[in-house]
Amino acid sequence: MSQDETWTIGRLLNWTKDFLQERGAESPRLDAEVLLAHARGCKRIELYTAFEEEAPQELRDAFRELVRRRASGTPVAYLVKMREFYSLEFEVTPDVLIPRPETELIVVGVTDHAKATGRSAEPLTIVDVGTGSGVLAVCLTKHLKDARVTALDISPQALAVAKRNAARHGVADRIAFVESDLFAAAPSDARFDYVVSNPPYITTAEMAGLPNHVLNHEPRLALDGGADGTSVIERLLPQAAARLKPGGRLFMEISPMLADRVDALVRRTPGLEPEAMILDLERRPRIATARKTVEQA
């Protein structure tokens, strides 16, 4: 960005789009708009009425630094410290995985199932295993008004982010946050209507082939599922079975490539019976679901 030229908002966007495109960004125009809106302190849509405005030096300096970091691979969500999920804004930091749209299918699945089965006299109990930024715990608490949610995560830094997100959306009083490796530190007598989780499911071999903005910036702990991609899933399934109420449900995000293996693991887990996988927008199995069998309660 030359210092001796007049830079309007529109010109900044066009230059940055081309710059990021040359460096392999998947959505260069969107990245440019999000970063400039953040630097300017406005909503992205407001840029469209400001194309002809001259960008002051202070704004250009702040924007240039954001663009430099984006070009080096830092994800936009970490640069602006925010990501939208299920129509809500969530704080994200490098301590947590950036929420993906596919994970919203868990919110849809649980809320649809809860509403279809009707209300009980007792509040719904839900546990989010590996809560990360807290998107599942927060969204389920907001959309199921009688729910009481427990959010578990092995990372105290991730739990701190999740707590701030719960406070941001006014549901902190209905979520219990527990630092825990899966269910290890959860209250021993707690039983749940729903277990939800987005566990790590990328194989260790696949990790090396991930794009730079994922491999070198997002927490490996939330991505690496071991040699087969199921090391955490294999530990989670029997623990989930032990903590579900009879007839309770498990909703767990998986890689479509692991669908058959996960189905077999569920079938081998005493107390769990697999149900239909939820498909993503590309019609691939994305959310594994299972029911706690009553006879093995």
- 3-class secondary structure, 89: strand
Cα dihedral 178, 180, 182, 188, rounded to 10, equals -70
Annotated binding-site ranges: 130-134, 153, 198-201
Annotated binding-site ranges for substrate: 198-201
DSSP of 33-47, one letter per residue?
HHHHHHHHTS-GGGG
Give CA–CA dist 12/109, Å, rounded. Answer: 42
Cα dihedral 263, 201, 108, 178, rounded to 10, equals 110
- Compute the Cα dihedral for 267, 134, 145, 147 and give only its sign: positive
Residue 281 is given by DSSP the state T
Annotated binding-site ranges for S-adenosyl-L-methionine: 130-134, 153, 198
